Structure 1
């Protein structure tokens, strides 16, 4: 392993034969939703970037564990770091879209959303040499307010989305959405693969990674993924961000205390927990998972949007 990798060295057996979906939301520390009200997009180019080194460490970990993953990448990042995107693709990982600059889907109308995902896809395909078929909304921001988002994804030829968090959360969530794969449009093969939730006391709890994985003990995630694999007999969908393995990242002191707690808690332990996770379970790319799960996706009937499908 390279010297820059933050991951400790240890081994553990696989816990299940089911292949789960491993994903990385590729954005830098200053692009997160927690800081969007204190860091302007116009200032991004003047900030110290950490993403190349963090992604290099992630690629080392994945190579050591012999796993492939999907990197949902901002077009803004891919435009500025083409060599990094090519390295991800050359390692056999999937490049998918995270939009252009991390604007939440419900901040768009349909036309501007279509422009955003079209621009991001053009950049990602140019930098990676791959066909981009997957999309993840920033901050899981597709919900009942944005039925036109699925229409636009389908009409632009995306095969799958992993943009729904089927829970209640103060920043996002679609609590009555299906927990597992569903088809949001009756006329399209587009499949939505929600991020993982587990059932605890008859209630859905977030168990798909990110801040929940950083803050809670590793044993919770082990329990949740095993529940999904063994009881539900479905694959889990896990995500994290490159900045989450970087305790030395700059501190945004003028951010609200709640935002700082959410962003910085657990950074020191994240790399070790990730290493345990990728060695304990079987993992693969989201495009392959979506292809398998499409065979048992349920249909979802959405309300008719105000905006008609593009002609």
Structure 2
């Protein structure tokens, strides 16, 4: 009698959404003042509801790294996210980059955001993602503050070189930044191409490049490295009808608006093709493999 080979269970990858509105992105931080935010059209709620529907249809769970500013104005949406079985995590209060803070300012920011998110959702917040992946070699105190405030994981590092962010020397996969703490960092995904790291974790790279690139990169991480990929995107990326910012630079407008109309169909393909889960679950599994890095 012949026995068919048993296929190994697919690696569960980390699926995440950085919840911020169209005017809160790094590309526009020098042309839209924070003091003007409340006068602008809020579109994040409808976009997040569309994402929740997409995830429900695909039967996947994810982590929503959310700004405290957004949670303050969309309390009921925070409960919708949690009630749907997703993780709610912190993205800081108002998208200020970590390397522009002092440690005291950072401590205040993450404490404020956490309080707002927990009050809005009724859920405990244990995960953090720095706006614009802005934890790097300049902010050794950031992990100490996260650990002391009780966070269990961060996903705040892009281990590449980029004009807005990046920590090229950081490991590609989960690591422990502090010798005295169980806190782990789970960097956003990179793949290896020609011996060099290339960004492959979502966002603008996913929108601009062909879907085949992301498929190749995630398969490489799962099959060759035997590790989960970490993918992220933003609610505004599925919103081609969002307002335009005419006084932004050409480079910023190209980054922000390219292929918005293609994003939702590509996401639909992605969430059906691979296995996905919440970042807190990925963090628990990766903790055993995480290496010390200092």
Normalising by structure 2, we get a TM-score of: 0.97
Deviations 1:197-255 (A, max 9, x none): 00000000000000000000000000000000000000000000000000000000010
- What residue number does 1:5 align with? none
- What residue number does 1:29 align with? 22
The separation in 1 between residues aligned to 2:167 and 2:25, in whole angstroms, is 20
- What residue number does 1:223 align with? 216
- What residue number does 2:274 align with? 281
The separation in 2 between residues aligned to 1:130 and 1:18, in whole angstroms, is 27
Deviations 1:7-48 (A, max 9, x none): xxxxxxxx9710000000000000000000000000000000
- What residue number does 1:204 align with? 197
Q: Which runs of structure 2 are paired with 1:77-156 in the superposition (5 Å)? A: 77-156=70-149
The separation in 2 between residues aligned to 1:16 and 1:214, in whole angstroms, is 28
Deviations 1:149-189 (A, max 9, x none): 00000000000000000000000000010000000000000
Give the Å deviation of 1:266.
Answer: 1.0
The separation in 2 between residues aligned to 1:88 and 1:16, in whole angstroms, is 27
Structure 1 contact 16–229 (Cα < 8 Å) conserved: no
Deviations 1:269-303 (A, max 9, x none): 000000000000000000000000000100012xx
1:173 and 2:189 equivalent?
no
Specify every segment of 5 or more residues in structure 2 that has no aligned partner in the other structure, as ranges: 1-7
Q: What secondary structure, in the 3-state scheme, does the structure 2 residue paired with 1:49 have? A: coil
1:232 and 2:225 equivalent?
yes
The separation in 1 between residues aligned to 2:95 and 2:38, in whole angstroms, is 15
Q: Indicate which of 137, 158, 164 corresponds to 2:151.
A: 158
1:246 and 2:239 equivalent?
yes
The separation in 2 between residues aligned to 1:121 and 1:40, in whole angstroms, is 23
Q: What secondary structure, in the 3-state scheme, does the structure 2 residue paired with 1:270 have? A: helix
The separation in 2 between residues aligned to 1:16 and 1:108, in whole angstroms, is 43
Specify every segment of 5 or more residues in structure 1 that has no aligned partner in the other structure, as ranges: 1-14, 302-311
Deviations 1:75-129 (A, max 9, x none): 0000000011110110000000000000000010000000000000000011111
Q: What secondary structure, in the 3-state scheme, does the structure 2 residue paired with 1:23 have? A: strand
After the TM superposition, which parts of structure 1 deviate over 6 Å for at least 4 consecutive aligned residues?
none
Structure 1 contact 16–281 (Cα < 8 Å) conserved: no
- What residue number does 1:62 align with? 55
- What residue number does 2:5 align with? none
The separation in 1 between residues aligned to 2:170 and 2:54, in whole angstroms, is 33
The separation in 1 between residues aligned to 2:262 and 2:134, in whole angstroms, is 28
The separation in 2 between residues aligned to 1:114 and 1:251, in whole angstroms, is 34
Q: Indicate which of 31, 48, 52 corresponds to 2:45.
A: 52
The separation in 1 between residues aligned to 2:125 and 2:150, in whole angstroms, is 9
- What residue number does 1:258 align with? 251
The separation in 1 between residues aligned to 2:196 and 2:151, in whole angstroms, is 32
- What root-mean-square deviation, in Å, do the aligned CA atoms of Structure 1 and Structure 2 show? 0.8
